[in-house]
Amino acid sequence: MTRSGLTDTIAAIATAPGSAGVGIVRVSGPEALTVADGIFSGRRTPSRIRGGRFVFGQLIAADGEVLDEGLCLVFRRPHSYTGEDVAELQTHGSPAVLGRVLSRVLELGARLARPGEFTLRAYLSGRLDLAQAEAVLGLVEAQTDAARRQASLGLSGALGTRVARIGANITRTLAAVQAMLDYPEEGVPEEDRELPLQAAEQDLSELVQSARAGQVATRGARLALIGRPNVGKSSLLNALLGYERSIVTPIPGTTRDYLEAGVELAGVPVTLVDTAGIRHTTDQVEAAGVRQAVALAGAADLVLALEDGQQPREPLPTELPEGARVIRVQTKADLEPAWNDPGALRVSAVTGEGLPELREAIHAALLGDAARSEAWLTTERQADAARRALGHVQAARTLPDDLASWELEEALRALSDLTGRDVQEDVVDAVFRNFCVGK
Ligand code: GDP
Ligand code: ZN
């Protein structure tokens, strides 16, 4: 949509469908207050209500019928969510009342808003950057506390600030590189070329890593339980779930297929996958199960590698995917341990011993430092932009100046995709003001 498409006034029911104590019809655009004048009758007409104030009154149909009583709240541009004039009509939250109020507002000249259009207008008016607009969506959709937390962080604009800092560092290097190309005899101190780029690379790779945590918090994580038959995978899965889901049996090799169950662990929706015991086997059916388990472990965000605490220790299966994140668990902690390893968490599915520590370790592994970080990437679009920027920065560090300069420009372009803001121009200006060649 273009800015010229924003001359009209839009309206929509802002509250959830169904009955509720209060419902809101929101109107935004140049005619918002005039439209509200046509339906609302109170001590003041909406166009005479001061910004940020409300008036109690009645909502009136075209034929003069009183639809409901309620409040009219007025926000005046640019001090509103959309940056435009906004009237919010608060009524009782029944679908019947809200439907009548909305159709009257449309009769009076507003157009039905498209999905996300209020937030789109906030972005176009410069009130939100693209990542913040995505955060609004995340807040509306948040199903878990972790998702809510990171969406509200996104809305705070912390990501925009961080991206601007990265952009400023890349630009400093770009300026240095261009200065070297233009005035090779001058020479540019290494710290002007190398240090800002190092900082940008560091910052970007942290952001790229946060994308994994951000997406885990939003869409949830897959967690695979692996281990030899009879180590206690099904029992631990049940203990984490808190009820019987998979069949626990003392006969080795029973879980040939895998079994999934959803649970919320420390604010993150987690799918637990109980895999067939991983071991070298000649049994055809079990072999298929083992291959599947290895593949599952590879697709998982986190692997719980279980070893029987009671049996003499055998080496873990070597098939564990390279780079997989693993928590080692020593099972059956209620019994006398046959071995000791401080690198493994001792857990009992029977007594629950060690379960809180295990949940804590799962949470830390899934969200890690990102849980404390002030800005995360939460959408694949953002992650893609950050990865592209990182790739260009890394390339620039190894290339001669003329090629590096191109890579840095590409990195800046990828960054401005990230927040949808043109970091290039304003940051370039700011940096060149401080950066003088041949002084
Ligand atoms: P899986 O084959 O890895 O899924 O193992 P199961 O969960 O089916 O457990 C195998 C056997 O170990 C069963 O007899 C369980 O009762 C027993 N078991 C599992 N976890 C524990 C535990 O924490 N403590 C004790 N004492 N026995 C356990
Ligand atoms: Zn099992």
CATH of residue 184: 1.20.120.430
Residue ranges of the alpha helices (H) in 31-157? 32-39, 95-107, 117-124, 130-141, 145-155
> Closest ligand 1 atom, CA of 237?
7
Mean pLDDT value across residues 287-307: 71
Question: Could you tell me how many residues make up the chain?
Answer: 439
Instruction: Specify the higher pLDDT residue, 299 or 63.
Output: 63
- The answer on pLDDT for 303 being more than 80 is yes
127 is in an annotated binding site: yes
Does 49 carry a binding-site annotation?
no
In this structure, what CATH number is given to the domain that contains residue 355?
A: 3.40.50.300
Residue 138 lies in a domain: no
Who has greater pLDDT, 27 or 17?
27
- Tell whether residue 235 is among the known ligand binding residues: yes
Which range among 57-66, 166-175, 356-365, 371-380 shows the weakest confidence by mean pLDDT?
371-380
241 vs 135, higher pLDDT = 241
Residue 252 pLDDT more than 70? no
Question: pLDDT at position 81, please?
Answer: 85
Say if 185 falls within a structural domain: yes
Task: Identify the residues whose C-beta falls under 6 Å from ligand 1.
Answer: 227, 229-235, 248-250, 255, 277, 331-332, 334-335, 348-350
Place 243 in a pLDDT band, splitting at 50, 70 and 90: low
Is the pLDDT at 62 greater than 80, yes or no?
A: yes
Beta bridge partners of 24: 90
**Higher-confidence residue: 354 or 435?**
354
Q: What is the pLDDT of residue 423?
A: 41
Ligand 1 pocket, mutate which of 236, 247, 248 (most atoms under 8 A from CB): 248
Higher pLDDT, 195 or 184: 195
pLDDT > 70? residue 150: no
Measured from the alpha carbon of residue 235, the closest ligand is 1
Q: 195 and 292 share a domain?
A: no
Residues 248 and 357 occupy one common structural domain: yes
User: 120 CB contacts (<8 Å, ≥6 apart)?
Assistant: 1, 114, 133
Annotated binding-site residue? 332: no
Q: What are the pLDDT digits (tens) for 367-405?
A: 776 555 666 777 777 888 899 999 999 999 999 888 999
Q: What CATH number is attached to the domain comprising 23?
A: 3.30.1360.120
Model confidence at 437, in pLDDT bands (50, 70, 90)?
A: very low
Looking at 324, 350, 371, the residue that finishes a domain is: 371
User: What residue's CA is closest to ligand 1, atom 13?
Assistant: 250
User: Do 231 and 339 lie in a common domain?
Assistant: yes
pLDDT at 259 over 80: no
* Gap between the Cα atoms of 53 and 43, Å rounded: 13
- Asked if 348 and 237 sit in the same domain, the reply is yes
Domain-located, residue 148: no
- 362 annotated ligand binder: no
- pLDDT of 56 reads 94
Predicted complex ipTM: 0.98
pTM score of the predicted model:
0.55
Q: Is residue 145 part of a domain?
A: no
Q: Give 378 Cα–ligand 1 centroid separation in angstroms.
A: 38
Q: Is 331 annotated as a binding residue?
A: no
**Is 310 found in the same domain as 201?**
no
Confidence of residue 269 (pLDDT cuts 50, 70, 90): confident
* Residue 261, in any domain of the structure: yes
More confident site: 174 or 184: 174
CA of 333, closest atom in ligand 1: 23
> Domain range for residue 189?
155-205+380-434
**pLDDT exceeding 90 applies to what percent of the chain?**
36
298 and 350 share one domain: yes
Query: How many domains is the chain built from?
Result: 3
Q: Nearest bound ligand to CA 252?
A: 1
Does residue 243 lie in a domain region? yes
What is the residue-wise DSSP string for 214-276?
Answer: HHHHHH-EEEEEE-STTSSHHHHHHHHHTS--SPP-SSTT---S-EEEEEEETTEEEEEEEPP
- Give me the DSSP letters along 104-140: HHHHTT-EEPPTTHHHHHHHHTTSS-HHHHHHHHHHH
pLDDT tens for each residue of 407-423: 999 999 998 888 765 54
| Mutation pick for ligand 1 pocket among 231, 235, 241, 316 (CB with most ligand atoms within 8 Å) | 235
Q: How far is the CA of 359 from the centre of ligand 2 (A)?
A: 20
Pair 295, 197 in one domain: no
Flag the least confident range among 271-285, 334-348, 366-380.
271-285
- Tell me which of 326, 348, 371 is where a domain ends: 371
Predicted pLDDT at 436: 24
Between 154 and 86, the higher pLDDT residue: 86
Tens-digit pLDDT profile for residues 64-116: 999 999 999 999 998 998 889 999 999 998 888 999 999 999 999 998 887 77
pLDDT band for 438, please (50, 70, 90 cuts): very low
Mean pLDDT, the chain, rounded, equals 79
Which one of the ligands is nearest to 354 CA?
1
User: pLDDT tens, 30-51?
Assistant: 999 999 999 999 999 999 999 9
User: In testing the pocket of ligand 1, which one of 230, 237, 334 has its CB within 8 Å of the most ligand atoms?
Assistant: 230
Same-domain pairing of 57 and 78:
yes
Domain boundary at 371, 404, 419, which? Answer: 371
Q: Is residue 132 part of a domain?
A: no
Ligand 1 atom closest to Cα of residue 335: 26
Residue nearest to atom 17 of ligand 1 (CA): 232
Tell whether the model's pLDDT for residue 251 goes beyond 60.
no
Are 274 and 190 members of one domain? Answer: no
Mark whether 160 and 85 lie in a shared domain.
Answer: no
Identify the pLDDT of residue 430: 35
Within a domain: 137: no
State whether 38 and 121 are in the same domain.
Answer: yes
Query: Could you check whether the bond before residue 78 is cis, i.e. omega within 30 degrees of 0?
Result: yes
Looking at the structure, do residues 265 and 177 belong to the same domain, yes or no? no
